[in-house]
Chain A
Amino acid sequence: MASNHLTGIGSESKQLATWYFTFAAILFGAQLLFGLVAAIQYVMPGFLFEVLDFSVARMLHINALVVWMVFAMFGAVYWLLPDETGIETVGIKIGKLLYWIFVAAIAVVVLVYLFIQVGPADETSIWFIHEGREYIEAPRWADFGIVVVALGFVGNLFLTGIKGKQTGIVTVLMADMIAFAGLYLAGMFFTDNITVDQYWWWWVIHLWVEATWEVYVGSIAAYGLITMIGAHRKTVEMWLWIEVAMLFGSGILGLGHHYFWIGTPEYWWEIGALFSALEPLPLVAMFIHVLYDWGKTQGAEMNAEHTDEDNVRSVIKNKPAFTWFVLNAFGNFLGAGIWGFFHTLPQVNLYTHGTQFTSAHGHLAFFGAYATILVGMMYIAIQGTNGIKVMKHTKSSIWAVSMITGGVVGMTVALTIAGYVQVLVSRAQMGATWAGYFDGQSGMWFAQAMDWRLIMGAVTFIGFLLLVKDFLSTGKNPVHER
């Protein structure tokens, strides 16, 4: 049974979406918690030593990040499918079964990370403990489970897309999710040559986050603009195709900027430099997209009501979600664009790679490009499941968005300062030597930057708690129009 986005009640697909969002929110909290532990360990190196070492805390931090985002992405697709196709998701029962398999697999993997931590450094570790590949460290048995779940999800999406109405958003998602699931395979096999291993590993990491995930964000932004401000579908979908062309056009070979120093041929310098320089273009274009649709839709509303700017009714039907979507346009541009661009060319990347610059870019880009829009989708789902017509800001929602954004921006600035110290001391002055590595981290600027990163991490975590409070209290809050 199809349902309208304002009334998620009655749709099994939307119910499944809320399950995905719920588990994603739990993992989001875990990500922040383990991030805090790792941040404390930079300031107090003895903290939880030999109980939860930095290597384990960091592994949990970054793997939880990827997994909560994948959960929220699947949830967002299950949420929008009935709206876009006009039918209930095909094979929803299998979808629900796969959800529980996915949750169980992740729970076991986290418990193994927490309590077993390291293995005997042979095939047993790869199969049952972890593979040691940053971001996608799940052991091989879990890898196969993830592939099965992803294929089931893609199957649900394709069968529904083929049977129901084929909108541009669903068509783009169908193509994108095939690539998303397929690319995971590149990170599953083992080779004892580190260059070859890294070469393929980057196919997963780069081609996920700078190609398929960005296209996914374009699709979700398109759905959000139609849902929240009533933007014109043909305009939005036409734009989506341009974004797809630009993102894949620049993003795929932008992969070259990861191949500068891992032992791959030097022609990657030129390829990486050219396509990395082009990569901010689609991010700028996404920014125009949101501004255009908002301006046009609000302008049409003003014309229809023959009124002026001060008295016109807002076209926004879900203010918290829209705030997160606008943050996404800015955050993507800032985190992926600016913080990516200023260390992407090989001449300067020689000095910056592997320093806290990378970490600063990673924090702001993952937050700006993905976390924002996925939290926005959670708000859309909350609006739907509670039958709210116009969802307004609450004190908690304003404090949550301000503290999370302020906290992440604060961490980014602190890490940028730390990275700058490393570039000057560890790389430029001391030539990337072992002594330079330690000298770069023992200076006052680096240490203070790490203190600030911890403080800002705590601010982010408090913001997250307020976000959860807002999620849980929306159903009973009388401020929203029903």
Chain B
Amino acid sequence: MIDPAVIRPEIALDDFLPIFVSSALVLIFGGFYVGIYTAVKVKMLKKWMMPFAYLFWLLTCYCLYIMGSLMHVGDFTAKALVVAMIGYLLLPHAVYYMQDQVHQKNEH
């Protein structure tokens, strides 16, 4: 039997809008992070833009934190969200590295 408190975390009425907005912003800011990072790497944007990419990743983390707190996520879900954020940070680096290596090997 599940504890009723687990089934109904009882989100406050005023918290729904911040939850939806912050969860949408998680991916919007995440998209900016990945987009700016990749665009700088393929020289579509100047190098000085790169810190903005990481700034967006920090904003992504902050929004996820807000979202998780307002939703009253449990320990397991909180850990899952931290893992997801580390994944978001590392993903563009790993993908770009692999793409670039293949590109270099096959065209130069």
Contact = CB atoms under 8 A, between A and B. Distances in A.
Interface stretch (A23-31, A107-115, A273-281): A273-281
Interface of B is mostly: helix
Contact of A284 (B19, B88, B99): B88
B13 A428 contact: yes
A288 B44 CA distance: 13
Interface string B57-85: 00000000000000111001100110110
B75 to A, nearest CB: 10
A313 interface: no
Interface string A292-313: 1001100100000000000000
A101 interface: no
Contacts of B39: 291, 295
Interface in B24-83: 24, 26-28, 30-31, 34-35, 38-39, 41-44, 71-73, 76-77, 80-81, 83
Contacts of A341: 23-24, 26-27
B27 A338 contact: yes
Interface in B84-106: 84, 87-88, 91-92, 95-96, 98-99, 102-103, 105-106
A239 interface: yes
Contact of A348 (B11, B24, B83, B102): B11
A235 B106 contact: yes
B49 to A, nearest CB: 14
Contacts of A291: 35, 38-39, 42, 44
Contacts of A424: 13, 16
B18 to A, nearest CB: 11
Contacts of A333: 27, 31
B102 A234 contact: yes
Interface residues of A, number: 40
A338 B28 CA distance: 8
A238 B106 CA distance: 12
Given A266-B2, A351-B16, A238 B99 contact: yes
What 6 pairs between A and B have smallest CB-CB spacing?
Answer: A295-B42, A342-B23, A347-B71, A274-B80, A277-B84, A338-B27
Interface of B: 2, 7-9, 11, 13, 16-17, 19-20, 23-24, 26-28, 30-31, 34-35, 38-39, 41-44, 71-73, 76-77, 80-81, 83-84, 87-88, 91-92, 95-96, 98-99, 102-103, 105-107
